[in-house]
Structure 1
Amino acid sequence: MTSWTPQQLADLGRHDEIRVAPDRRDGAPGPLVTIWAVAVEGALVARSARGPEGGWYRRALATGRGRIRVGGEEFAVVFVPAPDADHVAIDAAMHAKYDRYGPGPVGAITGASAAPTTVRILPA
């Protein structure tokens, strides 16, 4: 597993939305799903707005592999659960980036209830 370069991470983090496609259990590509993500701790970090039952999140945990599409570019990635992440920093980054969309959407991806669904999205 590798890391994003600082330039890649800055480029990825500036986009409001990314599209993730965790692989299916049989290795086939899954569907692209639009999510929000932030650049924190040298990684692209996302949370499931639907909690642990979110489809993309369940597939990401099940297979650990997939792809993302951001700004016309596509990357092979790995999804790594991040229970050790700095959740305060992630919440702050999510609020800074997305508060303009209102408390409902941001509330789904911040706070103690969202923290357990935190995943790092790293280049494969």
Structure 2
Amino acid sequence: MTQWNETELDGIGTAEELDLASERADGSLREPVTMWVVRAGDHLYVRSVKGTEGPWYRGTRSRQQGRVEAGGVRKDVTFHEAVPGEYADVDAAYRAKYGHYTSIVEHVLTERARAATLRLEPR
């Protein structure tokens, strides 16, 4: 398994937003969606506020890979469903990074959003 290097982790992890383009079944990329991204340890995560029914999240399920771009880093990735044991660290990362958006950050801390937590792994 390929791992992120520190430059990539810092670049993406400190970026305010990330553009995520998932691959269609035919291998072409969908239009990118802009979202929040957090770093927890040596991993990067995104969540769907609309849970597993969110359109962009459903798009990640066809091939479970795509491309992300943020903080000067562009990388092909695979999308891995996070396990419940990762949720607390991801929650803390969202609170720390986006807590100043008090009326918005709570939307990524719901059970519905937690169920749609994806760990981004470089390819």
TM-score under structure 1 length normalisation: 0.90
1:44 paired residue number: 44
Percentage identity across paired residues of the two chains? 34
Aligned positions of 1:52-71 closer than 5 A: 52-71=52-71
Gaps of 5+ in 2: none
Deviates more, 1:24-33 or 1:68-77: 68-77
Is the contact made by 1:18 and 1:70 (CA closer than 8 Å) also made in structure 2? yes
1:64-99 CA-to-partner distances (Å, cap 9, x unmatched) read 110011134321111111124421111111011112
Distance in 2 between the 1:72 and 1:6 partners? 13
1:110 paired residue number: 109
Is the contact made by 1:19 and 1:35 (CA closer than 8 Å) also made in structure 2? yes
Distance in 2 between the 1:57 and 1:90 partners? 17
> Which amino acid in 1 is paired with 2:54?
G
Is the contact made by 2:47 and 2:117 (CA closer than 8 Å) also made in structure 1? yes
Give structure 1 regions of 4+ aligned residues with deviation exceeding 3 angstroms.
none
1:82 paired residue number: 82
> Which amino acid in 2 is paired with 1:110?
L
* CA RMSD, 1 decimal: 1.5
Secondary structure of 1:52 counterpart:
helix
Gaps of 5+ in 1: none
1:119 paired residue number: 118
The structure-2 alpha-carbon separation of the partners of 1:3 and 1:91, relative to structure 1 and needing over 3 Å to count, comes to same
Aligned residues: 123
